Amino acid sequence: MTFLQDSEIIMEDNASPTVVYDDEHIRVIWTSGQSSYVLVTFAPMTSLVDGIRFFCDVPVQKLGINCLGFMPKKPNWYPTKSMTQAVAASSAILARFPEVISYGGSMGGYGAIKYSALLGATSVIALCPQWSIDISECEGNHPGFQSWYDPSMKGMAVRPVDVGGKVYVFYDPAHERDSFHATQLLSHCNGAESVFVRSVAHDVISVMAGTSNLECMINHIRREENEALRIFVGKIRKTHPIRVRELCRRLLEKHPSLLNAIMKSPNNLSALSEDDVAVIDSELLNYFSLRNMSCEAVSVIDRLVLLRICHFRKDLLRSYRMAMIGGQGFRSNEIVTHHGSIVVYNALSGKLVHLHKNTFSGSAILFPVFLKRYANNMLMCVTVQGRDFRVQISRKSQVRLGPDDGPDLELKTLIKGEEKDGVLALSHFGFYLTARRDGTIAYNRKAVLDWEKFKYAT
């Protein structure tokens, strides 16, 4: 365990960063500047002890801020015993400043709040902080970070007695875990302010990183300009690549076709790096391929091969694209109606009908239809005696079969399948197919309602 004497600390004012406390859990580093206040930083679990580096050291030194940097030696959420001794060792520094600003993110955000009273903090800036990772304190909520929890942390939650100064909690309210922690902290910190950093998940630290951002946050908080602070944060996160990536992730889960349309325009991608674009497009390609949405998959491949990805992967993607365009091994499963029945071709009546699977299984005259890729369209087909046939509908609603390897058929006579937001619609001549309750199929609907909705069998 290492301590510096008070006289040694004072003498180091114009020197390079100096270690003022060091034990098996944490290290405290002092760097002097020209500010009228002292900033106390707490590093997150991703930023551990590294010589005399400390959390936010680059912007701190650029701005000339007096700073004490608390650095963990492992993800330990700043043990109380070590912190008590470290703050005592730093007391001569802290006593020189009437204004102490405690600052940290995630695990460091916990430390910034937990020890704010001990530090004599006048303000606290906590980015996506935890309240406690002791699950026994969390009343059925999962606090996360359980792989780092140690029995010595039991009862670690932030209590009102721990809190000093005005607390500002920055977090994404849509992030379930961070929102839980923030709610608990706001209830235990009298007069605390919430600052929403929407659509960034747990990446608040990265979004708010940078010299100018740190300077603006500190200035607004010192002046108690809460509304100006929120406006500033809103502007920062709005164009940040992390927010754009998070919105893309949410779109992929709920509206993949919309995301695909957005990704087609370079103007929509200005906030993303090429690596970000490759990751998003790769996830889209996987989504569309698993669902046999080959038209969408082809459009994604056409974008991916223009990026700086592995050359061997480009070759594989081009081969995959050719397989889809040629229809090789790229066909949908059976098509299910809104009623839960299967669309089939009846060779006796020469019509499309829909039946429940147990009524035609093994039949020699009933053939389930499927969709198969031809150029840029997914077309309805049936397989008869090992050969694929495209389904044609005449203007009089008569069904005809055109051989898969025969002459090109007029596209408007064929039945096309299009999937959007998980709903499959079938159309021909500009009208939608509908599955009537009596088991027949009609070809005359102008809009997609319940009976015009289909899906692939699972």
Query: pLDDT tens digit string along 334-390?
Result: 899 999 999 999 888 888 999 997 777 667 788 899 988 776 788 899 888 777 888
User: Residue 284's closest CA among 267, 312, 263?
Assistant: 263
**What distance in Å separates the CA atoms of residue 244 and residue 237, rounded to the nearest whole number?**
9
User: Residue 452's closest CA among 427, 433, 431?
Assistant: 433
The pLDDT assigned to 206 comes to 95
Tokens linked to 390? 């495209």
Indicate the DSSP class of residue 448. Answer: -
**What distance in Å separates the CA atoms of residue 63 and residue 382, rounded to the nearest whole number?**
71
Find where tokens 């969390």 sit: 138
Give Cβ neighbours of residue 34 (< 8 Å, ≥ 6 apart). 64, 66
Give Cβ neighbours of residue 363 (< 8 Å, ≥ 6 apart). none
The pLDDT assigned to 273 comes to 85
CA angle 190, 125, 84 (to 5 degrees): 80
The pLDDT assigned to 48 comes to 95
The pLDDT assigned to 404 comes to 63
Enumerate residue ranges in the chain where pLDDT < 50.
6-14, 327-329
The pLDDT assigned to 407 comes to 57
The pLDDT assigned to 9 comes to 46
Tokens linked to 320? 């995959």
The pLDDT assigned to 150 comes to 95
The pLDDT assigned to 202 comes to 96
SS3 441: strand
**What distance in Å separates the CA atoms of residue 19 and residue 12, rounded to the nearest whole number?**
10
The pLDDT assigned to 93 comes to 97
Domains of the chain, CATH where assigned: 2-238 (3.40.50.1820), 254-325 (no CATH), 335-456 (2.80.10.50)
SS3 145: coil
The pLDDT assigned to 328 comes to 44
Tokens linked to 353? 């009908």
Tell me, yes or no, if the pTM score tops 0.85: no
Which stretches within 90-222 are classed as H helix?
A: 91-94, 107-114, 116-119, 176-188, 204-207, 211-222
